[in-house]
Structure 1
Amino acid sequence: MEASTPGVTRPIRVIIADDHTIVRDGIRAVLKREAGEFEVVSEAADIPSLIREVREHKPDLLTLDLTMPGGSSLGALPACFIAHPTMAVAILTMREDPEYARQALRAGARSYVLKEAEPAELLQAFRLAVAGGNYLHPRLGALMATGEDGATDSVALSEREREVVRLIANGYTNPEIAEQLNVAERTVKTYRARAIEKLGFSSRAEITAYVRRVGLAD
């Protein structure tokens, strides 16, 4: 059954940003079933194309994967908002971690939904974002409301620090991490040093154990 967004001009123009074609196709299929409520105007598979497409198309809604090639998804949002300040952003991710959700909301996202969500939940998150509201996956919302953020292990790493730690645990070297994140190797070393200082670890084994414990492992 159609459930349009009150007070919002239709169709809602959407850019889908995810580095996996199957995910982009899935979101497109969900939106297509909504009787013209949404119009997918473009897609992006990496950060440079994301910024370029937002500048060109100025969508009402950006659905954004939290981890994409070519840079930081959240780090790209300032450039996107400069190009189109009224754009709504809905994060669609596998990262079930309150700290990631907090960082996304601080960066300007309005919705944070997991990729495991059913189509009805995705549409609710998208509609609320476009209408100026907020949506959090229920489990994340409960953790954030009660302060029971066990998944963060009481350590507030930045998005990039967490990404570097995750890649270290997956066996990547500093040069390989630099290539993955499209940054200089010295930048990787800086993030690594900051994360290790915050965590109090000195070995890859300790980092790997932490990543598994807090659910950052691939």
Structure 2
Amino acid sequence: MGNPLPLCVVALDPLLEAGAVSALSGNPDITLVQPEEKADVAVVIFDRVGRRELDLVNATGTGPHRPAIIVIASDLSPAEAADAINAGARGLLRRNEVNADRLARTVLTVAGGDCTVPPDLIDGLLDQSTETDAQPGARGHGPDWGLDERERAVLRMVADGRETDEIAKELCYSARTVTTVVRDITQRFRLRNRAHAVAYALRTGLL
């Protein structure tokens, strides 16, 4: 086992902060640090998604240590999820779906460069990006920058944690075709791997 992952918890409500700290404190793979200390991951917790909360996400992620951000909120609509991602979140969780094990898994997943979004929000995020596509001058969209329908379908299932063979079977493609689609996306946008592709697509509005 390597060194424990340094993590901080940030919340506007001290009770929410205390609950997250309690849930994570017994995990041997994680060491809790203060928000002003160096952390690889920051868990940001709030009830509602508003301007104050999004500013907190942005400030935490753009601080001197630039941790990866996980947002935990009481509820998340697709529009709110898109706002949180645009503010810098790489992981999204609803409070009623979180337990100690799931939170710890999400922390380690995000620290590894992946992106975690509740499966039921994926379609809503696609709808959000489709609406953005229709707006003139939308950032990061256009024939040279967007994803076609096949690429969106594959990347959406990658974001949902599906393996290559599963994706191929459900979409009636060969496994080689799925691999080629993901490779083309990563090469086009100069990304490291499929996890990086999902995180990039969500954060830039391509997915």
Query: What TM-score do the two structures reach when normalised by structure 2?
Result: 0.52
Matched residue, 1:127 = 108
1:18 deviates by 1.8
| 2:32 equivalent to 1:40 | yes
Does the residue aligned with 2:76 lie in a helix, a strand or coil? Answer: coil
CA change 1:18–1:81 in 2 (3 A) is closer
Matched residue, 1:14 = 7
Task: Provide, for residues 167-213 of structure 1, a one-character-per-residue CA deviation record: whole Å limited to 9, x for no partner.
Answer: xxxxxxxxxxxxxxxxxxxxxxxxxxxxxxxxxxxxxxxxxxxxxxx
Match of residue 95, structure 1, among 75, 79, 94: 75
Which runs of no fewer than 5 residues in structure 2 stay unpaired?
Answer: 130-207
Which runs of no fewer than 5 residues in structure 1 stay unpaired?
Answer: 43-52, 150-218
1:67 deviates by 5.5
Does the residue aligned with 2:43 lie in a helix, a strand or coil? Answer: strand
1:96 deviates by 2.1
Query: What TM-score do the two structures reach when normalised by structure 1?
Result: 0.49
1:124 deviates by 2.5
- Kept in 2: contact 1:58–1:83 (CA 8 A): no
Identity, in percent, stands at 17
> Partners in 2 of 1:148 and 1:77 — Cα distance?
20
> Partners in 1 of 2:71 and 2:62 — Cα distance?
18
- Kept in 1: contact 2:47–2:75 (CA 8 A): no
> Partners in 2 of 1:74 and 1:20 — Cα distance?
15
For 1:98-109, list aligned pairs within 5 A: 98-109=78-89
- Kept in 1: contact 2:13–2:46 (CA 8 A): no
Does the residue aligned with 1:73 lie in a helix, a strand or coil? Answer: helix
Does the residue aligned with 1:17 lie in a helix, a strand or coil? Answer: strand
1:97 deviates by 0.5
Does the residue aligned with 1:129 lie in a helix, a strand or coil? Answer: helix
For 1:138-153, list aligned pairs within 5 A: 138-145=119-126, 147=127
Q: How many residues align?
A: 126
**RMSD (Å), alpha carbons:** 2.8
Matched residue, 1:116 = 96
